Amino acid sequence: MPQATLKDLDKPLGRDNGRRPAASGRERLLRFGLVWGVAIGAVLLFGGHLLTGGLISRSALRPAATPVAAIPAVPAKADVPAATKPAPPSNAAPPASNRRPASDIEQQAGVAVVRPAGNVPGAIIISVPDGSEPGLAPAPDPRVTADTPAGPLPRIGDDGSRAAEVYARPTPPHAAMAPARIAVVVDGLGLSEAATRQAIETLPADVTLALAAAGVDLPQAAAAARQSGHEVLLSLPAEIPGGDLITAMARFAGYAGILTATSADRLGPLAQQAEQRGLLLMAAGRSDLLLPQTMPAEAVEQAFARAERLAQRNGRAIVVAEGSPSLLRQLARWTASLERRGVLLVPATSLIANSKG
């Protein structure tokens, strides 16, 4: 055992020549862990204020000011050679002044669009021609024609064919769905070549033309009318003797029915003859509106409006108009505009044959 000296006894307790004894590795690890443990505990206990309070800056958030870009100076306009000017895009919309009304485009394309009247939403009907328009089949058709000394007379064919069907203009396939239909018959044609030509050339093909039995060049007029797509009726006066009836019916071929001025209560003999020969029969007095050629223009316009109201209310209306030049001009404008107001123009035979439809 070593002996303690006086110098050793004079040394302060816990000191070794003024230096601390070096800590072992285990002690350093414990101290390091203790310091980090205290730090983590402080963060958890005080929400991080002790360690990060001095590092976090608290200030009100304000939206950044919108940067204002400097507006470059507009260079002087230089003339661009015509060859180097950029062409407008091919899909650019035409200017408003060059736009065409939808009605003009539809008429040129041959497409009929039937829209509901007014601004009430509803279905529209679009009729696309099937390529068979405007001409109708030539007449006479041997199936429904009997050659007699008086001329060609209608008859019911051996196969049951009837002139009312063979010579009628086909009804548009969508006609049954149209909310309102109007048929127009122009009477008294064939008496004036100019009026007959005007009616054939200016009226829509769905307008029915009635040729007077007392007219001139009726076979030629009937052929021209059918070639333009118009169906034809034979127009008879109120009084006609029985013998003259056969002569009148043999004036030309290709008519689907008879339009007569005879009153409804005196149609017996004529109705019997029409039935036997497969023809439709219509009394002008039983039409919804009758427009004489002497009717003033203003009254004609009022009658047109009344016909439209009838068609809208009842689903159909038949108008019979006498073929004067002024009335034909009004008819041409009116009938061409019906579809834009939700009214479908149909051949008269489609309404005569089905008086309830």
> Residue 147 pairs with which residues in a beta bridge?
152
Mean pLDDT calculated for residue range 220-249 = 93
The predicted pLDDT at position 6 comes to: 46
* Alpha carbon distance 58, 329 (integer Å): 87
Q: How sure is the predictor about 203, in pLDDT bands with cuts at 50, 70 and 90?
A: very high
The predicted pLDDT at position 142 comes to: 96
The answer to whether the CB of 313 falls within 8 A of the CB of 172 is: no
The predicted pLDDT at position 239 comes to: 87
* Alpha carbon distance 228, 138 (integer Å): 11
Instruction: Say which residues have a Cβ less than 8 Å from residue 294's Cβ, sequence separation at least 6.
Output: 324
Does the structure show a pLDDT above 60 at 120? Answer: no
Span of 106-110, 169-173, 233-237 with lowest mean pLDDT: 106-110
Does the structure show a pLDDT above 60 at 34? Answer: yes
Q: How sure is the predictor about 269, in pLDDT bands with cuts at 50, 70 and 90?
A: confident
Q: What is the DSSP letter of 278?
A: T
Q: What share of the chain is helix, strand, coil (3-state, %, to 5)?
A: 40, 15, 45
Q: Which SS3 state, helix, strand or coil, does residue 322 take?
A: strand
Nearest to 352 by CA among 157, 185, 160: 185
Does the structure show a pLDDT above 60 at 61? Answer: no
For residues 119 and 185, which has the higher predicted lDDT (pLDDT)?
A: 185
The answer to whether the CB of 167 falls within 8 A of the CB of 140 is: no
Mean pLDDT calculated for residue range 211-235 = 97
Mean pLDDT calculated for residue range 330-337 = 97
For residues 229 and 262, which has the higher predicted lDDT (pLDDT)?
A: 229
Q: What is the pLDDT of residues 97-115, one digit of tens each?
A: 555 566 555 545 445 555 5
Phi/psi at 281 (nearest 5 deg)? Answer: -135, 130
Nearest to 137 by CA among 230, 46, 52, 276: 230
Mean pLDDT calculated for residue range 75-95 = 49
Nearest to 152 by CA among 281, 271, 273, 249: 249
In the chain, what is the straight-line distance between the N-terminal and C-terminal CA atoms, in Å?
Answer: 141
For residues 69 and 255, which has the higher predicted lDDT (pLDDT)?
A: 255
Q: How far is CA 153 from the centre of its chain?
A: 43
> Residue 316 pairs with which residues in a beta bridge?
181
Q: How far is CA 324 from the centre of its chain?
A: 34
The answer to whether the CB of 138 falls within 8 A of the CB of 223 is: yes
Q: How sure is the predictor about 54, in pLDDT bands with cuts at 50, 70 and 90?
A: very low
Nearest to 355 by CA among 305, 291, 290, 280: 280
Does the structure show a pLDDT above 60 at 128? Answer: no
Mean pLDDT calculated for residue range 268-281 = 93
- pTM beyond 0.75: the answer is no
Q: How many CB atoms lie within 10 A of CB 195?
A: 20
Per cent of the chain over pLDDT 70 is 63
